[in-house]
């Protein structure tokens, strides 16, 4: 796994957003679907995509896991035979959302009426979503009706193309997620530590992660914790230091309430993989959060299929989709005979990984607006990396800075930092940060972009 991929995965671990795109190469596995037909004439050419020519594949092209280009008509035929279609995304990529909308439109044009399932919204927003489908709620009114800013926070304009297809076709749509913060609360307190009303929102069975997923994430988690400790004064790594750096208080039982067999399944396979106890608690908490998210979304997708019919077209962050590790794994537990297709963005950086998904759509990665990578632990947003040559580097950000305010708002979550950056990018205005560095407060201003649209 390359350095860039590891850095991205590290941020996923500590931000706990559940929408991260993971990286790794687990053994190839069948996703339970039939082979696609041969390409047609709406792709530039058929055949294998070599690493040398991958970047030349046009944005929007469909590519199969073996590297062959696929006609959109063949993609539709393949998806028409699925019960669940999982479509991954990078939340900040406009291209990803346009392709999600395009694929949904292709299905509706072919006469299919999938249920659209959304990671972005909790089930409590379903009444408002039903009104959108029925035509009694306009798209412009939707963000307020579902409290988009609280429940998701990413720029609604990114997702508008998807909602336009839903509204124009009158497609059934459901939020699949939990109320904001509940999964993380489960990670902190354990499933049995939740009040009965909150525990009832989570499926009674929360399947543990697969061995492949756990092993991949555990390796990166351990490396990151070591790097964090080495950056501290003295550079020593200890179980106590790991506990404080992750924000996991001593004595937290991240796996409380999980069945014994669940905890055993999540245990390391060999003694040399053993983490310090405090680090293990933090990692188990993270894995429980992911499992709760995936189990809930899978359970609600199955309910949607039963109530409305299929297929169910699920939009979720890449980390919930790729390799069948997340939602698909739980779908097979709730609906064992289901036919599942995984669709995922491919950035053109080498040939696709056939284990990652069944079908790919070509999209470039969204460039970071500021060039910052950060972690969220102990209630603080801390700068982990500053991209060389980025606006953040020019403005004077340094790794280790704790972001206190952004655009006049107190930064108590990654969402606030993202919203402030999105607003500044949209308006072209400068954005002022205050950061804590070496015990002192500093002001950092990132200049706006001249000529940006308000």
Kindly indicate the confidence band of residue 42, based on its pLDDT and cuts at 50, 70 and 90: very low
**Alpha-carbon span 36 to 298, nearest angstrom:** 25
What is the mean pLDDT of the segment spanning 290-299? Answer: 96
Mapped onto helix, strand or coil, the DSSP state of residue 84 is strand
Inform me whether the pLDDT recorded for 46 exceeds 90.
no
pLDDT for 119 equals: 97
Distance CA 371, CA 391 (A): 6
Domains belonging to the chain, first-starting first, are: 372-446 (2.30.42.10)
Q: Residues 122-147: what's their mean pLDDT?
A: 97
Would the pLDDT of 32 be above 90?
Answer: no
pLDDT digits (tens, 9 = 90+) for 65-102: 777 899 999 999 999 999 999 999 999 899 999 999 99
The H-or-E segment that residue 99 falls in is helix 94-109
pLDDT at res. 361: 96
> What number is the average pLDDT over the span 199-214?
91
Highest mean pLDDT: which of 47-61, 148-162, 220-234? 148-162
- Report the predicted TM-score, pTM, of the whole model to 2 decimal places: 0.72
Q: What is the pLDDT of residue 414?
A: 74
Highest average pLDDT, of 26-30, 49-53, 427-431, comes from 427-431
Distance CA 23, CA 20 (A): 10
pLDDT over 90 at 441, yes or no = yes
Reported confidence tier of residue 437, pLDDT bands at 50, 70, 90: very high
Longest dimension (CA), the chain: 64
Question: Can you read off the two tokens belonging to residue 285?
Answer: 């908490």
What confidence score (pLDDT) does residue 146 get?
A: 97
Residue 264 pLDDT greater than 60, yes or no: no
pLDDT band for 226, please (50, 70, 90 cuts). low
Q: What is the mean pLDDT of residues 305-330?
A: 94
Q: Name which residue leads in pLDDT, 282 or 208.
A: 208
Which tens digit of pLDDT belongs to each residue from 161-178?
999 999 999 999 999 999
Of the ranges 157-166, 317-326, 362-371, which one carries the lowest mean pLDDT score? 362-371
Check whether 254 has a pLDDT greater than 80.
no
User: What are the pLDDT digits (tens) for 388-435?
Assistant: 878 888 999 999 999 999 988 898 877 787 777 767 766 678 889 999
Question: 151 near 190, Cβ under 8 Å?
Answer: no
Predicted local distance difference test score (pLDDT) of residue 452: 38
Comparison of pLDDT for 299 and 65, the residue scoring more: 299
Q: What is the predicted pLDDT for the residue at 372?
A: 78
Tokens of 447: 């200049």
Query: So what's the pLDDT on residue 101?
Result: 98
Q: Name residues whose C-beta falls within 8 Å of residue 279's C-beta, 6 or more positions apart in sequence.
A: 221, 222, 225, 239, 242, 243, 246
**What backbone phi and psi angles, to 5 degrees, belong to 230?**
-70, -25
Q: What is the mean pLDDT of the chain?
A: 78
Task: Give the residue, 15 or 214, on which the prediction is more confident.
Answer: 214
Segment of 55-59, 300-304, 385-389 carrying the highest mean pLDDT: 300-304
Question: pLDDT-based confidence at 14, cuts 50/70/90?
Answer: very low
β-bridge pairing 359-362 and 312-317: unpaired
Q: How far is CA 166 from CA 132, 134, 301, 331, in A?
A: 8, 10, 17, 23
Residues 305/220, Cβ–Cβ less than 8 Å = no
Angle at 417 between CA 413 and CA 418, to 5 degrees: 110
Residue 331's pLDDT band (cuts 50, 70, 90):
very high
Inter-axis angle of helices 277-308 and 182-189, to 10 degrees?
Answer: 140
| Candidate from 275-279, 355-359, 365-369, 438-442 with smallest mean pLDDT | 365-369
- Angle at 265 (CA atoms; ends 264, 270), nearest 5 degrees: 80
The phi, psi pair for 215, rounded to 5°, reads -65, -40
Residue range 223-246: average pLDDT?
A: 44
Percent of the chain with pLDDT over 90: 49
SS3 18: coil
Q: What percent helix, strand, coil does the chain show, rounded to 5?
A: 45, 15, 40
Residue-level pLDDT at 242: 29
The pLDDT-based confidence of 180 (bands split at 50, 70, 90) is: confident
């Amino acid at each position: 796994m390359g350095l860039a991929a590891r850095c991205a995965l590290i941020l996923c671990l500590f931000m706990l957003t559940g929408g991260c795109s993971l990286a790794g190469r687990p053994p190839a596995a069948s996703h339970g679907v039939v082979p696609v037909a041969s390409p047609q004439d709406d792709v530039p050419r058929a055949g294998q995509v070599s690493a040398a020519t991958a970047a030349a594949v046009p944005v929007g092209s469909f590519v199969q896991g073996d590297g062959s280009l696929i006609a959109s008509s063949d993609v539709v035929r393949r998806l028409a035979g699925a019960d669940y279609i999982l479509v991954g995304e990078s939340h900040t990529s406009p291209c990803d959302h346009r392709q999600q909308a395009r694929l949904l439109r292709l299905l509706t044009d072919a006469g299919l009426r999938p249920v659209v399932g959304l990671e972005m919204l909790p089930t409590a927003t379903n009444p408002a979503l039903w009104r959108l489908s029925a035509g009694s709620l306009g798209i412009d009114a939707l963000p307020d009706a579902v409290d988009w800013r609280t429940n998701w926070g990413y720029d609604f304009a990114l997702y508008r193309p998807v909602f336009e297809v839903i509204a124009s076709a009158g497609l059934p749509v459901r939020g699949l997620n939990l109320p904001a913060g509940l999964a993380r609360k489960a990670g902190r307190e354990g499933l049995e530590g939740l009040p009965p009303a909150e525990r009832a929102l989570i499926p009674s069975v929360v399947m543990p992660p697969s061995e492949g997923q756990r092993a991949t994430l555990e390796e990166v988690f351990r490396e990151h914790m070591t790097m964090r400790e080495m950056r501290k004064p003295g550079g020593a790594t200890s179980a106590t230091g790991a506990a404080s750096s992750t924000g996991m208080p001593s004595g937290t039982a991240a796996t409380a309430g999980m069945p014994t067999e669940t905890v055993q399944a999540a245990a390391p396979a060999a003694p040399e993989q053993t983490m310090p106890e405090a680090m293990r608690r933090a990692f188990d908490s993270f894995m429980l959060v992911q499992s709760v998210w995936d189990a809930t979304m899978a359970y609600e997708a199955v309910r949607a299929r039963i109530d409305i019919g299929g297929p169910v077209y699920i939009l979720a962050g890449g980390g919930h989709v790729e390799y069948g590790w997340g939602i698909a794994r739980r779908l097979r537990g709730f609906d064992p005979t289901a036919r599942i297709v995984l669709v995922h963005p491919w950035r053109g950086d080498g040939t696709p990984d056939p284990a990652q998904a069944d079908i790919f759509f070509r999209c470039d990665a969204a460039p970071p607006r500021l060039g910052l990578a950060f972690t969220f632990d102990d209630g603080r947003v801390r700068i982990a990396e500053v991209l060389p040559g980025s606006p953040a580097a020019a403005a004077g950000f340094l790794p280790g800075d704790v972001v206190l305010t952004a655009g006049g708002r107190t930064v108590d979550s990654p969402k606030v930092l993202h919203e402030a950056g999105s607003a500044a990018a949209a308006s072209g205005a400068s954005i002022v940060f205050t950061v804590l560095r070496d015990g002192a407060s500093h002001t950092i201003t990132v200049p706006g972009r001249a000529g940006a649209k308000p």
